[in-house]
Amino acid sequence: MTYPAEDTVVSYPTGSVETGATVLHVDTMPDGRRAVLLDVTSVHPVDAGWPDQGADHAVLRAGSVDTPVLDCVVGATDGTALHVGRDIPVGKGTEGWAFVVVHVVAGDCALAEGDAVVVAVDAGFRARTSAGHTACHLASLALNLAVANRWKKEPRADALGTPDFDGTAIDVSLITENASTDTYRLGKSLRKKGFLTDGIDDDLPALTELINTTLAEWVATDAEVHIDRDGDRLTDRRYWACALPGRPVRIPCGGTHVSALGELGRVLVTLSTHDVAGTSVLTMATTVDAAASA
């Protein structure tokens, strides 16, 4: 039983939901479930470092037998063992390590090295998650625009050239079906970087309206969305690319997306703040109403 020496080839960045593949390795995990490694996969795995988009729903089909993929995570191997998720001891691109997509299946799964399978992803779930992810990027760019006048020092710029509030203050980003939730810490470290938090609670209705107006303008352009990539392997750099009005944008992103903004129909955010252990936390909840696209 040898481990793969190269990173898994991934087809989900192009929108693929079905791929023929060969089983390269099957490991038994500490919890008794099995880890199936393939040469190529269309299943989007959850990333250990930035787990914003969850795993696709999928099955591994061999003949008439469908093996459900219970979870799909990123793993790494140096040829002697498989390390999964947070237990990966090295960074991506480390010499001598292969980064692989780990398809977690039940412990009684009969798949073995050398088997041919068809990787079949739940296309509906993928489409709704992709909509949530594209909307998440748009909403964070629109949020940056809405709060751009609150900086007294110039922070780093986002892909549109706006002060990058999202990139500076983001705590957690969670992408789900037709939705995303982003939380931002409005604490001392953000204020030190020059962001004025005064009166932001009273400003939330006006900021919400500004963001939703920007989002409606962007969705109405039906701009094309695509993934730029340096290669077809799991760890090759990928970027979300979209021609927003006046400026094409490119954001590093390992997720999946719609192919045009019109598919989103209507994107709306709501903003709220609450206190977490003495620090004010801003939550932006973004929802997609694809049915509004007609």
DSSP H or E run through 224: none
Residue closer to Zn ion by CB (options 163, 255) is 255
User: In angstroms, what is the minimal distance from the CB of 242 to Zn ion?
Assistant: 11
Our CB check for Zn ion shows the closer of 98 and 253 to be 253
Q: Is 23 in the site for Zn ion (CB under 5 A)?
A: no
Residue 243 to residue 181: CA distance in whole angstroms:
24
Binding piece for Zn ion, criterion CB under 5 A, among 39-47, 102-110, 146-154, 254-262? 254-262
The nearest distance, CB 240 to Zn ion, in angstroms, is 6
| Closer to Zn ion by Cβ: residue 104 or 253 | 253
Q: Give me the least distance between CB of 139 and Zn ion, in Å please.
A: 11
Stretch that binds Zn ion, among 32-40, 113-121, 154-162, 249-257 (CB under 5 A): 249-257
Candidates 10-18, 94-102, 120-128, 250-258; binding stretch for Zn ion (CB under 5 A):
250-258
Mask: binding to Zn ion, 171-200, rule CB under 5 A, as x and -? ------------------------------
Q: Residue 152: left if φ>0, alpha if ψ -120 to 50, beta else—which one?
A: alpha
d(CA 38, CA 118): 10
Q: Least separation, in Å, of the C-beta of 111 and Zn ion?
A: 31
Q: Contacts from 47-52 at CB under 8 Å and sequence distance 24+?
A: 47/74, 47/254, 48/73, 48/74, 48/85, 48/86, 48/88, 50/173, 50/254, 52/133, 52/136, 52/173, 52/174, 52/175, 52/180, 52/255
- Minimum distance from residue 50 beta carbon to Zn ion (Å): 9
Q: Output 118 or 174, the one with its CB closest to Zn ion.
A: 174
| Complete edge-to-edge strand list for the sheet that includes strand 170-176 | 170-176, 179-185, 279-289, 266-276
Q: Give the single-character DSSP code of 12.
A: G
Residue number with the smallest Cβ distance to Zn ion: 253
Among 37, 55, 234, 253, binds Zn ion (CB under 5 A): 253
Question: Cβ(256)–Cβ(130) under 8 Å?
Answer: yes
Number of residues that bind Zn ion (CB under 5 A): 2
Q: Which of 45, 75, 187, 255 binds Zn ion (CB under 5 A)?
A: 255
Please, what is the minimum distance in Å from the beta carbon of residue 253 to Zn ion? 3
- Between residues 187 and 255, which has the closer beta carbon with respect to Zn ion? 255
Residue closer to Zn ion by CB (options 105, 267) is 267
Q: Which two tokens stand for residue 222?
A: 């039906």
Question: What is the token pair recorded at 15?
Answer: 């929108």
User: Cα 149 from chain centroid?
Assistant: 28
CB of 233 to Zn ion, least distance (A): 18
Residues that bind Zn ion (CB under 5 A): 253, 255
